[in-house]
Amino acid sequence: MGRFVGTLRRTAWQSVPTVIAIVVIDFFLLRLAPGDAADALAAESGSATEETMTALRHHFGLDQPLLLQFLSYIENLAHFSLGFSPLYNMPVSRLIGERLPGSLLLMTTALVLALVVGITAGVVMSMFAGRLADRVLSVIALLFYSIPGFWIGLMLIVVFSVWLGWLPSGGQETIGAGLSGTGWFIDRVRHLILPATSLALFFIAIYARLVRASMLEVRDQDYVRTATAKGLRPRVITLRHMLWNALLPITTVAGMHVGAILGGAVVVETVFSWPGLGRLAFEAVLKRDFSVLLGILLLSSLMVIVVNMLVDLLQVWLDPRIAVR
């Protein structure tokens, strides 16, 4: 237990300066954006006099010196407030809070799908390394690696929604169906299949290639030869001895790719009208609502940091030697 606490404390301390830098960069990006909340509101209403603009700027504290604005931004952050979105007429944190569960559901499903399929494919490829099965799977993996999520999403809609009519083409659930219990659950799963698959393909390819490489790396090590000499069954050696050690690089890469999944979610959610953070980010761009956009950017960075801390803990569990470093 102690080694987990030690690792957690160390990584938490290391991330403090990173978080501060991100907050500063975020704030100044917000300043660089053309127009402020008052301009956005004026554009929304169609017309505004110089007096109302001044009053609005005063109301949002936009007429204060930059340093004061920065301090109040920090103070707001300390109260978990990401500012106010004049266009949505609600606090940014509430707006994000409404959309976060949808994104987390989509991203987690895609990640689990990618890990399961990717690791399985990688193990199969390494078992048949250099032979036909390996070659075919390698080419498929490279193809998955090259297909943009938004395009395969649209093509999946053509095949499975338009031609076959098996799966819904967008949204999170059937609106107004009044389903409950199992029916509701099945409805949600049906809506999840296409977007999660579109998002997962790229990561299936990454994990498959990585597992194959690290399985082959592990294959020649002494303890694997020992296990073979002991007369263990090949399946036990592959799964218990080799895969366990090959998982370490997977966790590192999976942690590194949280940001990429978030980026992919922006486009995939737009394709499937999925009510998540990605689509909110896109709507914010169209409406030029930079407080929302930068709130999402800040939250995403924090999510990346937290996930990487969890990955550090996971690695200590997988390989206790890491905690000593």
Partner 1 sequence: MATRRSSVGLFLRNPTGLAGLIILSLIIVAALLAPVLFPDDPLDMVTRPFVWPLSNGEFPLGSDSLGRDVLAGIIHGARVSVLIGVASTVIGLVIGTIIGASAGYFGGRTDDLLVRLIEIFQTFPPFLLIVVLVSIVEPSVITITLSIGIVSWPTIARLVRAEFRSLRERDFVLAAQGLGYSNARIVFLEILPNAMAPVIVTTSVMVATAILSEAALSFLGLGDPNLVSWGSMIGAGRDQLRTAWYLVALPGTALVLSVLSLNLLGDGLNDALNPRARGR
Residues in contact with partner 1 by CB under 8 A are 17-18, 21-22, 25, 29, 32-34, 129-130, 139, 142-143, 145-148, 150-151, 154-155, 157-158, 162, 213, 216, 256, 258-260, 262-264, 266-267, 270-271, 281-282, 285-286, 288, 290, 293-294, 296-297, 300-301, 304-305
Q: How remote is the C-alpha of 153 from its chain's centroid?
A: 17
Task: Report the DSSP beta bridge partners of residue 90.
Answer: 85
Placement of tokens 């966790």 in the chain: 251
Q: Considering beta carbons, is residue 124 or 179 the nearer one to partner 1? A: 124
Counts of helices then strands in the chain (DSSP H, E): 14, 2
Q: How far is the CB of 162 from partner 1 (least distance, A)?
A: 5
How crowded is residue 147: how many other Cβ atoms within 10 Å of its Cβ? 15
Q: Considering beta carbons, is residue 60 or 145 the nearer one to partner 1? A: 145
Q: Considering beta carbons, is residue 238 or 269 the nearer one to partner 1? A: 269
Q: Considering beta carbons, is residue 117 or 215 the nearer one to partner 1? A: 215
Read off the amino acid at residue 159: V
- Pick the closest to residue 249 from 133, 94, 119 (CA basis): 119
Q: How remote is the C-alpha of 89 from its chain's centroid?
A: 27
**All residues at 6 or more sequence positions from 47 whose CB lies less than 8 Å from its CB, including other chains:** none
How crowded is residue 152: how many other Cβ atoms within 10 Å of its Cβ? 19
Q: Considering beta carbons, is residue 54 or 108 the nearer one to partner 1? A: 108
Q: How far is the CB of 169 from partner 1 (least distance, A)?
A: 8
- Pick the closest to residue 40 from 85, 103, 91 (CA basis): 85
Q: How far is the CB of 279 from partner 1 (least distance, A)?
A: 10
**All residues at 6 or more sequence positions from 246 whose CB lies less than 8 Å from its CB, including other chains:** 211, 214, 215, 217, 218
Q: How far is the CB of 243 from partner 1 (least distance, A)?
A: 17
Q: How far is the CB of 57 from partner 1 (least distance, A)?
A: 20
Q: Considering beta carbons, is residue 93 or 301 the nearer one to partner 1? A: 301
Q: How far is the CB of 280 from partner 1 (least distance, A)?
A: 11
Placement of tokens 């998982």 in the chain: 247
Interatomic CA distance for residues 217 and 210, integer angstroms: 10
Q: Considering beta carbons, is residue 104 or 232 the nearer one to partner 1? A: 104
Q: How far is the CB of 263 from partner 1 (least distance, A)?
A: 3
Q: Any idea of the CA torsion for 216, 222, 228, 230, to the nearest 10 degrees?
A: -160
Q: How far is the CB of 21 from partner 1 (least distance, A)?
A: 5
Q: Considering beta carbons, is residue 159 or 236 the nearer one to partner 1? A: 159
Interatomic CA distance for residues 265 and 279, integer angstroms: 8
